[in-house]
């Protein structure tokens, strides 16, 4: 009953609200046992296709005469995108934009936070260790999740050092390349998706390090090299960039200027909300995260969630 009321309220708000609205729906991991499952994606795509003009980042300028425009972004480029999201996009005709860190996709490197997730699975029962001030207990995800949060804003050398210490104390060693559960899309999978005409690539740095954590020279190198590599792979220019993590403090006027100087036209944050289609700052676009409850997705996509957040005086980020 609560979700039915929320869905009706969102539909009513969408009818009376005349704001030209850009909604960017975003996904991370999707598989049959995850919090977000293919059926959730299917419902979301069906909703977007019925209520919005869904387009690609490179075609956004041409879509601004519509009152309601949507983009779909998928962060990180795990194989989930090919197995569980692309078939739904193809069936529904909804285009998707893949935010791809190039060390992960092109060089088969682990995403650093996936290493911690894998370690959590491999820790022997009863093992208890302390790493970087965080207590880790096998079978309890809390400490491992706290370690990820703690390391997000550390520079890569120190982050890698702490992760190496974690593995040594757990007495487990990760394989050189991520196993299937954690692997990136392969080149062939990505090429198939690009050939469909529904998929566009988005820059996401090389190492998936928060932009404000990287020294300026390192940030510019990662922006430049990752953009050039993805453009060479796809044969198409990249229009958009996605800030790793993307919450408050993860981007700044300086990092946005660097993104602009690399030739990008827009950039996505992880701050929750929709955007005024014609007046939003293009390098700090807000996004809506898929939720297991479809009524919540409808509330956020319609703009009703923005009203709710303003009333509550809160801004949501760090996704």
What's the CATH number where 276 sits? Answer: 3.20.20.370
What is the average pLDDT across 128-149?
A: 95
Give the domain-ending residue among 123, 146, 170.
170
- State the chain's mean pLDDT as an integer: 94
Res 319: pLDDT = 34
> How far apart, in whole angstroms, are the C-alpha atoms of residue 192 and residue 105?
15
Using alpha carbons, select from 112, 75, 72 the residue that is nearest to residue 93.
72
Q: Please indicate, yes or no, if residue 318 is contained in any of the structural domains.
A: no
Q: Please indicate, yes or no, if residue 176 is contained in any of the structural domains.
A: no
* Residue 122, domain extent: 112-170
160 and 206: one domain?
no
- What does the angle CA 194 – CA 200 – CA 203 come to, to the nearest 5 degrees? 125
Name the token pair of 105: 């996709």
> How far apart, in whole angstroms, are the C-alpha atoms of residue 261 and residue 118?
37
What is the average pLDDT across 103-126?
A: 95
Does residue 309 register a pLDDT over 90? no
Q: What's the pTM?
A: 0.93
162 and 213: one domain?
no
Name the token pair of 292: 């297991």
Using alpha carbons, select from 290, 282, 294, 226 the residue that is nearest to residue 251.
282
102 and 116: one domain?
no
205 and 153: one domain?
no
Give the domain-ending residue among 147, 170, 193.
170
Residue predicted with more confidence, 2 or 75 = 75
- Look at phi and psi of residue 232 and say left if phi exceeds 0, alpha if psi is from -120 to 50, else beta: alpha
104 and 116: one domain?
no
121 and 269: one domain?
no
153 and 30: one domain?
no
152 and 73: one domain?
no
pLDDT tens per residue across span 150-186:
999 999 999 999 999 999 999 999 999 999 999 999 9
Does residue 311 register a pLDDT over 90? no
The DSSP code for 84 is I
Res 313: pLDDT = 73
Residue predicted with more confidence, 257 or 3 = 257
Q: Please indicate, yes or no, if residue 319 is contained in any of the structural domains.
A: no
What's the distance, CA 49 to chain centroid? 21
50 and 148: one domain?
no
140 and 95: one domain?
no
- What does the angle CA 304 – CA 306 – CA 307 come to, to the nearest 5 degrees? 65
Res 92: pLDDT = 95
Q: What is the bridge-based pairing of β-strands 128-131 and 240-242?
A: unpaired
pLDDT tens per residue across span 47-87:
999 999 999 999 999 999 999 999 999 999 999 999 999 99
pLDDT tens per residue across span 273-306:
999 999 999 999 999 999 999 999 999 999 998 9
The number of folded domains in the chain is: 2
What's the distance, CA 226 to chain centroid? 17
């Amino acid at each position: 009953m609560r979700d039915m009321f929320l869905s009706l309220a969102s539909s009513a708000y969408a009818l009376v609200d005349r704001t030209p609205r850009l909604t960017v729906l975003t996904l991370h991991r999707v598989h049959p046992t995850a919090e977000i499952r293919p059926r959730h994606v299917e419902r979301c795509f069906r909703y977007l296709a019925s209520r919005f003009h869904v387009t690609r980042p490179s075609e956004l300028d041409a879509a601004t005469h519509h009152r309601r425009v949507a983009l779909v972004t998928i962060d990180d480029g795990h194989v989930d995108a090919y197995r569980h999201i692309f078939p739904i996009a193809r069936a529904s005709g909804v285009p998707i934009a893949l935010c791809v860190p190039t060390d992960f996709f092109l060089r088969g490197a682990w995403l650093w936070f996936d290493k911690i997730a894998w370690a959590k699975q491999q820790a022997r029962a009863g093992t208890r260790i302390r790493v970087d001030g965080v207590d880790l207990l096998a079978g309890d995800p809390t400490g491992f999740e706290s370690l990820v949060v703690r390391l997000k804003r550390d520079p890569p050398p120190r982050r890698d050092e702490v992760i190496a210490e974690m593995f040594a104390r757990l007495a487990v060693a990760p394989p050189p390349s991520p196993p299937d559960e954690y692997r990136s899309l392969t080149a062939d999978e990505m090429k198939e998706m690009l050939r469909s005409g529904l998929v566009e690539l988005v820059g996401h740095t090389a190492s998936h390090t928060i932009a404000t954590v990287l020294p300026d020279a390192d940030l510019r190198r990662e922006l430049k090299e990752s953009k050039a590599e993805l453009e060479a792979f796809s044969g198409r220019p990249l229009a958009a960039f996605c800030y790793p993590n993307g919450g408050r403090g993860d981007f700044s006027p300086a990092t946005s200027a660097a993104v602009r100087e690399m030739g990008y036209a827009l950039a996505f944050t992880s701050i929750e909300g929709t955007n005024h289609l014609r007046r939003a700052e293009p390098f700090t676009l807000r996004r809506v995260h898929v939720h297991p409850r479809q009524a919540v997705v409808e509330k956020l996509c319609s703009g009703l969630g923005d009203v709710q957040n303003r009333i509550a005086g809160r801004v949501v980020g760090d996704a």
